[in-house]
Amino acid sequence: MATNGKTIAIKIKRQDNADSKPRWEEFELPHRPNMNVTSVLMEIAAKPVTRDGKQTTPVTYDSNCLEEVCGSCAMLINGRARMACSALIDKLDQPLTLEPFSKFPVIRDLSVDRSVLFENLKRVKAWVPVDGTYDLGAGPRQSAAEQEEAYPLSRCISCCCCMEACPQFNEKTGFVGAATISQVRLFNTHPTGKALKVERLQALMGDGGIQECGYAQNCVEVCPKDIPLTKSIADVGGQVMWQAVKDFFRT
């Protein structure tokens, strides 16, 4: 492969495990056209030598599909929460800096534990309560317009970029984050999914619930799938408020 003599400069924040201190390592690699951040990390794995010639270890990071649909390879690239696979080198300033997400426990290097999102999805019952897998005939009829509203919400890849970028997502507030709220909107819209609407809304009340949102709008800014997250928050916020009023009069 032609290398045209150009090189790429990269700084990576490394950390051996959750308890150890982070450190920076610098690398320099031959440039090739159309490189992305994951291909840079693959090159380093094949030849783990720092810029000053020191032998090091391959960088641990999460990745799978490499086409921005599995949600694995989220990290901070030049300080911004985004997917490494769709981050093209030629469009990024150098030296390129790679860091793990700052609001999730580090496992090692760029790999972090994002299981909190999957736990949140359990809390809000993000599913359609079907009766069973037996042949019970067609699903509810839905208009093309309804499908076109649901589909973009259903493309959330659980990358957690929206949570990393959110100023309210921290240990103090325990905020659930935009991704989960948007899933509540999705399932509350579905003709069958609606059955669990009240439980979902109640799960978003109180500490860490939807009222923690500070309307910074960072979530919608960083979402790699362009999901209308602020619209989801506004929409579900209204639903939660109504539910709170109803709950108040019922008790």
Query: Which of 55, 251 has the CB closer to other proteins?
Result: 55
Three-state DSSP class for 25?
A: strand
CB of 251 to other proteins, least distance (A): 26
Residue 80 CB partners (closer than 8 Å, separation 6+)? 222
Query: Which of 65, 216 has the CB closer to other proteins?
Result: 65
CB of 216 to other proteins, least distance (A): 25
Q: Tell me the C-alpha to C-alpha distance, in Å, between residue 46 and each of 58, 84, 89, 91, 210.
A: 8, 18, 19, 24, 45
How many angstroms separate the CA atoms of 247 and 251, rounded?
Answer: 6
**Binding segment toward other proteins, per CB under 8 A, in 36-44, 97-105, 168-176, 229-237:** 36-44
Residues 199-218 that bind other proteins (CB under 8 A): none
CB of 70 to other proteins, least distance (A): 4
| Pairing of the two strands 80-83 and 96-99 | unpaired
Residues 73-102 that bind other proteins (CB under 8 A): 85-86, 88
Range 40-79 burial, b when 16+ CB lie within 10 A, else e: bbbbbeeeeeeeeeeeeeebbbbbeebebebbbbbbbbee
Tokens of 36: 């992305």
Residues 106-135 that bind other proteins (CB under 8 A): 107-109, 111, 114-115, 118, 121-122, 125-130, 132-133, 135
**Binding segment toward other proteins, per CB under 8 A, in 4-12, 39-47, 168-176, 235-243:** 39-47
Is 172 in contact with 246 (CB distance < 8 Å)? no
Task: Sketch the per residue contact string, 1 through 30, with other proteins: x for CB under 8 A, - otherwise.
Answer: ---------------xx-------------
Residues 224-243 that bind other proteins (CB under 8 A): none
For position 170 contacting other proteins by CB under 8 A, the verdict is: no
Query: Which of 53, 137 has the CB closer to other proteins?
Result: 137
Using the rule CB under 8 A, which residue among 3, 22, 54, 142 binds other proteins?
A: 142
Q: Classify residue 93 as exposed, middle or buried by CB count within 10 Å of its CB (0-12, 13-18, 19+).
A: exposed
CB of 159 to other proteins, least distance (A): 9
Rounded to 10°, the helix 115-123/178-189 angle is 40
CB of 75 to other proteins, least distance (A): 15
For position 151 contacting other proteins by CB under 8 A, the verdict is: yes
CB of 225 to other proteins, least distance (A): 9
For position 198 contacting other proteins by CB under 8 A, the verdict is: no
